[in-house]
Structure 1
Amino acid sequence: MDESGRRRQQWRNHPSSSSSSTGHTRFRSQQYSSNPTKTTRSSNFVPRSTTTTGTTPHNTRNPGYVPKWKSVSNANNQQEGETEAGEEVGSIVGTCPFMCPEGERAQRERLRDLAIFERLNGDPRKTSAALAVKKFCRTISLKYVQASDVRPLSVLEDTLNYLLNLLDWSEHPFEVVHDFIFDRTRSIRQDLGMQNIVNDRAICMYEKMVKFHAVSHHRLQNCGSSSISSLQYLNMEQLMKTLASLYTLYEANHSSNSISENEAEFRSFYVLLHLDSKSQQREESLSFWFRRVPSLVMKSKEMHFARQVLRFYRMGNYRSFLCTVSAEASYLQYCIIEPYVNEVRALAVSYINNCCYKLHPYPLEHLSKLLMMKESDMESFCHACGLKTLSDDGGNKLLPTKQTTFCNPKGSFQSCSILGLEQYQRGGGIRTLLFR
């Protein structure tokens, strides 16, 4: 073997050659296997400490145990492209005794980042432990959260009750009240998730938060602010997310032959939300969802009502739709259904306008009874549909048929309540009605 051949053989057998190659492979493995968390936009409050708190989770068998519902929730958040604190493996136990951690409270005072409900004597630079409520904040990882910045279950319950008491606050427009409660309840859900709290008390809290979003779905329809459409969209988004979390909590707490006390009604909300025409594209997912619903829920009167209403709506059977809603709907169910009542009534008016005999105008008195609304409201509704009305010699209001100017009412037209459900439309004493 010549000199150059011996040198090549020595280089191959040298120990540093093997270790260098191995080290390079290891570096590449680390480089491509790491998955740094994507930084998301956060609120003004940044947790003060980056220490990891290792404590025993609520309702778990061991510190590494992750409930099935938690895995599902985490998968959903990954699809949405966002990671929130508490949606990771592991959990902590909060120790904050206030509605808002002291550090956040002091920082928001300095930044004048206080909502109108949190200001002490109206001063945007001053608040107190009895007024300030922790804001929703996205964080990169659970290890950046300190136990002193997380509220335990009892504090979260008191905080939620405090927020819901604001629903009947009449000094400010509903959209202002809604915006504040909307953000602070997201923070409550975040603290519940970080601590893996999945017991009956958590279910009760989630049910109250679903009620808030359902009521807002109804109340925001009648607000005149220019930003209402975006508020409605965001509220519907959080209603769906809160319902999904509630359903997985139900599943995590099911026993062999029983369901949660209010599960049937809250399951019916998901069916009623499919009244939206856009949801018809997800019809297959609804059929699949029915297969996973407990048989006791499927046989309940609440689920039977929801499926009937959906069927009548899809069939265009306006009479059965309105009669069923009037006779059987709970307040919360009506809050979800109410935005679609005008669509059903407009469909009925279009049928009558197109199908009735032209020489015989349709009496508004009869039409108002058919559509379960006041005669004065019926006339306004016909005008909103682009149709003219007239009066006969006896002063009776009539709807001439075969008019070519029919159109669906604009979104700004205020919905009229179904006769017999006027108390739902007024929405007075919401907090007392819902959370007594």
Structure 2
Amino acid sequence: MQINEQQCQSKDKAHRKEDEEKRHRLLGKESVPLGTCQTMCPTHELLDREAKNRLHCFEMLRGTEKDRKPRGDPLRAVKEYSRPAAGKDLTNPSALRPPAVLLNTVHYLIDDIATSPGLHPWTEVYSFVFDRLRGVKQDMIIQRVSGKDCVAILELTVRFLIYASYRLCGQPLRLYDPLINDTHLQENLSWLLDCYSTETGPHPNQEEFQAIGLLYNLGSHRAAQHIIELPEQLRSSPSVRLALSINQAFLETNPVRLLRLAHRLSFLQACALHRHLPTCCRDLLLIYSHGYSNRNCRFPLGKLAQLLSLDMKLTAEFCRTFGVDVNQDDQVFFSKGAFTEPQQKQMYCHLCHSIVSDKQKDLTLGNIIHGCA
């Protein structure tokens, strides 16, 4: 009996020890690493990529670009995005940049790379900045960054990705993939909106991004529900009310009203709306092809151009893309039987660019991404 009691006590002690060890392991997993790297790129990564000839041309020390193995410039090199892999430790504090360094890195990527007139083509600029912003986001996630620096980084990132979605629309997939850009834009936007709702403010740019979130996701029940649940003061702000009106016009398939309301948008808001404009303009032509389908009916091209917010030449090209006939006297012949769908959306997407580009005027890219538009 005594032996059984001792055995039970031993087993109980062993179980308690096992539970304690398990708890410590779990606590270890929950511990958040704090970055100590004070440069945009950890020294060991820079040396490694330099040795393997994996430096981007934007990171090379000037004067060594044509060398067999160009040298890296510590003031220009930026940490790459690193895919998680077995046996790869991404939590080493010496490889992680603290929030202040991450924010400085993003400012460098925007001010010295993305907006630099001397760096081209912009598809290459985008590719570099996009990858390095992913690296910034990765460091933020590992360290569970929050607060003002987190919000500032996400706001700059979302503006950059929104602008890129407009500027690079229609580019070959090998240079720009809209689906990948959209995935990362949605992730950063969702994180930003969550920061607004869970962290104490003030958040002076919240109205701007709440509106952009809805304009980019027109027709989304989730996006509309999010706006409805906002505090009354924010929900009734001018930008958010305008975005709600445009979303309502989109849901009602009322392209004339939608395009009329779009005139009131800022440039970046128009960039967010841009991906919906081809569908909107197409819907307008379809509605008019049914409403004015009469062999004796002539519709003025100038009036249609005004409705579509395009010049007459682009309007005529847009009409012909959908099988709508335009004669030499600038008269449009609508026919529901003649209306046809082009094989690829990209074929006519570029025709809607002027609706957005006209709003840019003298705004610089720096103004746009820093929210000074």
Q: How many residue pairs align between the two structures?
A: 358
Where does residue 311 of structure 2 map in the other structure? Answer: 374
SS of residue paired to 1:399: strand
C-alpha spacing 1:104/1:265, structure 2 compared with 1 (3 Å): same
Taking the TM superposition and a 5 Å limit, the aligned residue runs for 1:25-424 are: 89-120=30-61, 121-123=64-66, 125-139=70-84, 145-165=91-111, 166-169=113-116, 171-223=119-171, 225-227=172-174, 231-254=177-200, 259-275=202-218, 279=220, 283=221, 285-286=222-223, 288-290=225-227, 292-326=229-263, 328-356=264-292, 357-391=294-328, 396-402=329-335, 404-409=337-342, 410-413=345-348, 414-417=350-353, 422-424=358-360
**Distance in 2 (alpha carbons) for counterparts of 1:316 and 1:288:** 19
| Range that drifts further, 18-27 or 287-296 | 18-27
**Distance in 2 (alpha carbons) for counterparts of 1:349 and 1:333:** 24
Larger radius of gyration: 1
Conservation of the 8 A alpha-carbon contact between 2:38 and 2:98:
yes
C-alpha spacing 1:420/1:287, structure 2 compared with 1 (3 Å): closer
Using the TM superposition, give the Cα deviation of residue 193 of structure 1 relative to its aligned residue in structure 2, in angstroms: 3.4
Conservation of the 8 A alpha-carbon contact between 1:339 and 1:415:
no
Where does residue 368 of structure 2 map in the other structure? Answer: 433
SS of residue paired to 2:58: coil
**Distance in 1 (alpha carbons) for counterparts of 2:75 and 2:130:** 19
**Counterpart residue identity of residue 430, structure 1:** L
Conservation of the 8 A alpha-carbon contact between 2:96 and 2:139:
yes
Taking the TM superposition and a 5 Å limit, the aligned residue runs for 1:3-42 are: none
TM-score by length of 2: 0.83
C-alpha spacing 1:28/1:155, structure 2 compared with 1 (3 Å): closer
C-alpha spacing 1:176/1:144, structure 2 compared with 1 (3 Å): closer
Conservation of the 8 A alpha-carbon contact between 1:374 and 1:419:
no
SS of residue paired to 2:213: helix
**Distance in 1 (alpha carbons) for counterparts of 2:38 and 2:200:** 31
Where does residue 76 of structure 1 map in the other structure? Answer: none
Per-residue deviation, residues 232-256 of structure 1 (Å, max 9, x unmatched): 111111111111221222233336x
Using the TM superposition, give the Cα deviation of residue 22 of structure 1 relative to its aligned residue in structure 2, in angstroms: 7.4
**Distance in 1 (alpha carbons) for counterparts of 2:127 and 2:366:** 17
- The percent identity for this pair of structures is 21
Please, which runs of 5 or more residues in structure 2 have no aligned partner? Answer: none
Using the TM superposition, give the Cα deviation of residue 266 of structure 1 relative to its aligned residue in structure 2, in angstroms: 0.5
